[in-house]
Structure 1
């Protein structure tokens, strides 16, 4: 019996060591240098895991160990903002500077993108000044044109179709909290918007289930939904859509929402508030979720979306989530601009 137990222990140890080494080798082999980052649709599971690994490694080495890592020394980033944002601007500026680079913030008044100068010409001009461009734009087509014309990486800081850098922060936050992403169930309660679209393009690849509740008429984009269904089938995860928030929340580990009235939709506010009645996330919503449920919101938050009891509760991860915007944008920029290999073990995603 002792010999059998010893043999089994050795076999299991060998299995875990081999799998750990295989995981580390797979993630180390990933190279994203010189790629653009417009949507998580374009990135496979190992590539998403690699970005999260680099992000966690930088956070550990810089924040917790006090190391100085000028990985982007001598580099510049052009930051185009057609829409203003606290978190996107601060995370990118402070993160790029912390890595030794120089950020340059550009508003519509600074460059008149597509108005005083064509997007095509702007892309080519910026490519001569900067090493990477982050653009927070109204139309996703603007990003596509920048990518087609600029021979440097373009990062989507937000568009009407996707918000992928937000999802990187969400994923790292959940990884830190739960220790693993695989097998989690995330519930989205709210508008079928760009944040939801980016969740739909990424969660299945990490073995995360997605349940969605949107009011009728506010469903996600049909083409995004079609691709999400394909991904769900490919990776064997659940994708469930309903108009009932409680039904969507049932058994979920994570409840997520966002603004009901995005920038540019102010004239629709009264109608939207009526249409989203009953979609506020409360402790009652959480009562049908998993006992370990947590809450995410990309901010800024309005009280009608989630009440104070949830938002300021220990279940709320919104402020670690906001901070992780910095570490994940840093991890992304380092991944797109260098051949950096993390020093810490790969995440057990």
Structure 2
């Protein structure tokens, strides 16, 4: 499996969930599951031996930083954490120049930044694979972990219904672009002023062949009959000045027992974390029997190990 997949993935960028097609995503998930089992058995899998990964972080991180660092260690490689304040970026050097230089030193780059445009500008000049570690527009690595979690819980992806309730943010965007790729119908419920970007919704509907892509304001309608219920924080990094307004506007969108009662009896709950209990999700849901958030967080490691093994 590894050899055939690597021919398709090698030296490509991963900037968006739309970068990979259904066959590629499913192949990557199967490989991630193999790596997960191998790690449990204590088997070495050094697909990145002798390789290095630069990680440029302009935003704080727990799961993204730790999962990528451990992934490279497990794969026999080396991860170099680069806080933007420790680089010449903090003194005005452009991302493009940084990309040109780092491409001469390392085998790949992960970037966690504010603007998708910055990521894309970096990737245009870099001569090594570039991975989106989170931008204001998308968080595709998280969605790979989500899909791995759903698949391992439900035994399939195609034919399921996923409900996303909350802010139409980067997680929402990546789910909208990713779900149609793997045959999952996605129903989004957000307040009108915080809806996902129309361009993302339009592209998601073009990607949808045998699935539904619905965006509205009614959380009950979105969750009705859902196999998977997903939410995210209401106030993302850099939006602290909107905190009080957003908490008021989003109050009807809390994922609580009353809302998930409309989902299928065997639904699963996902959240990319960090979570704010009592805001976007009630403790009874995130800490309840349907929650797979800790498995989801672990799967960041395994999905990214597969990604790194194939791209670098």
CA distance in 2, matches of 1:287, 1:162: 29
Q: Per-residue deviation at 1:252?
A: 0.5
Is 1:308 paired with 2:271?
no
For residues 1-349 of structure 1, the aligned pairs below 5 Å read 31-63=8-40, 65-113=41-89, 115-232=91-208, 235-303=209-277, 304-337=279-312
CA distance in 2, matches of 1:293, 1:118: 46
Q: Per-residue deviation at 1:116?
A: 2.6
After superposition, the Cα gap between the structure-2 partners of 1:114 and 1:36, relative to the gap in structure 1 and judged at 3 Å, is farther
- Asked whether the equivalents of residues 183 and 208 of structure 1 are also in contact (C-alpha less than 8 Å), the reply is yes
- 1:149-177 Cα deviation digits (max 9, x unpaired): 11100000001111000000000000110
Residue ranges of structure 2 left out of the alignment (5+ in a row) = none
CA distance in 2, matches of 1:38, 1:115: 26
Q: Per-residue deviation at 1:30?
A: 5.8
Q: What is aligned with 1:12?
A: none
- Asked whether the equivalents of residues 168 and 197 of structure 2 are also in contact (C-alpha less than 8 Å), the reply is yes
CA distance in 1, matches of 2:14, 2:295: 23
Deviates more, 1:248-257 or 1:109-118: 109-118
CA distance in 2, matches of 1:106, 1:211: 37
CA distance in 2, matches of 1:215, 1:110: 39
CA distance in 1, matches of 2:232, 2:5: 34
CA distance in 1, matches of 2:63, 2:46: 22
Residue ranges of structure 1 left out of the alignment (5+ in a row) = 1-23, 338-349
CA distance in 1, matches of 2:88, 2:276: 31
Q: What is aligned with 1:6?
A: none
**Aligned-residue CA RMSD in angstroms?**
1.6
* Stretches (4+) displaced over 6 A: none
Q: TM-score, normalised by structure 2?
A: 0.96
- 1:286-309 Cα deviation digits (max 9, x unpaired): 111111111000000012111111
